[in-house]
């Protein structure tokens, strides 16, 4: 649960790999709780979602702030693979545009407030954020795929990596068909 640009590296042969899965410990605790009769109090669960910031602790803020799905900010909310889809699509959005899909904010705390805010508010369209020289090459289908991956309500978001892969593949096929038709 720690997908962000800083955790993607290019390995030998040009293969990209995801590294630094420290947040996976939180997922492991969640999996253990889901399959056992162990009950944790709210303080213990919130401590799993705590960030250390310059010697202080801020409860409820995921360590990967700006790339975190909204449910990561809600105490006791279930965090599913849809949160990983959010982080991956957020990373893809930034890769394409050079920016994140919310208004420019000075820090991760401000960005987190926007992400966890109004769950019905949409984030900016990739075509509105992308630089002009890239914007013309972005299809409405691609924009819709990113928008679906960044739905704030996890039940409305793309749910699996297979679904995201299929949607992105459809964008490529549509682009090729448009180019050669």
Q: What is the structure's pLDDT at 133?
A: 86
pLDDT at 128 over 90: no
CB 70 within 8 A of CB 78: no
**Average pLDDT rounded to a whole number, residues 139-145:** 92
pLDDT at 29 over 60: no
Q: What is the structure's pLDDT at 158?
A: 95
C-alpha–C-alpha distance, residues 171 and 34, integer Å: 36
At 28, list the tokens. Answer: 């492991």
CB 85 within 8 A of CB 159: yes
Interval 89-120: pLDDT, tens: 999 998 898 888 876 655 555 666 667 677 77
C-alpha–C-alpha distance, residues 33 and 43, integer Å: 15
**Average pLDDT rounded to a whole number, residues 121-148:** 87
Q: b/e string for 159-180 if b means 16 or more Cβ within 10 A?
A: eeeeebeebbeebeeeeeeeee
Task: Give the bridge partners for 51, in sequence order.
Answer: 58
CB 91 within 8 A of CB 8: yes
Q: What is the structure's pLDDT at 92?
A: 92
The mean pLDDT of the chain is 74
C-alpha–C-alpha distance, residues 48 and 46, integer Å: 5
Place of tokens 């924009």: 143
Computed from CA positions of residues 6, 113, 88, 60, in that sequence, does the dihedral angle turn out positive or negative?
A: positive
């Amino acid at each position: 649960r720690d997908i962000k640009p800083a955790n993607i590296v290019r390995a030998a042969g040009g293969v990209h790999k995801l590294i630094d899965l420290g947040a996976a410990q939180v997922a492991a605790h969640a999996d253990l709780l889901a399959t056992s009769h162990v009950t944790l109090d709210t303080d213990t669960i919130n401590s799993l979602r705590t960030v250390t910031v310059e010697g202080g602790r801020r409860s409820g803020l995921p360590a990967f702030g700006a790339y975190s799905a909204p449910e990561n900010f809600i105490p006791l909310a279930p965090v599913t693979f849809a949160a990983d889809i959010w982080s991956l699509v957020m990373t893809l959005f930034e890769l394409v545009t050079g920016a994140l899909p919310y208004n420019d904010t000075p820090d991760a705390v401000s960005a987190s407030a926007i992400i966890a805010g109004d769950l019905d508010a949409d984030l900016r369209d990739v075509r509105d954020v992308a630089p002009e020289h890239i914007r013309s090459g972005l299809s409405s289908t691609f924009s819709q795929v990113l928008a679906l991956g960044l739905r704030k309500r996890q039940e409305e978001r793309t749910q699996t990596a297979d679904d995201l892969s299929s949607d992105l593949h459809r964008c490529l096929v549509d682009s090729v068909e448009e180019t050669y038709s």
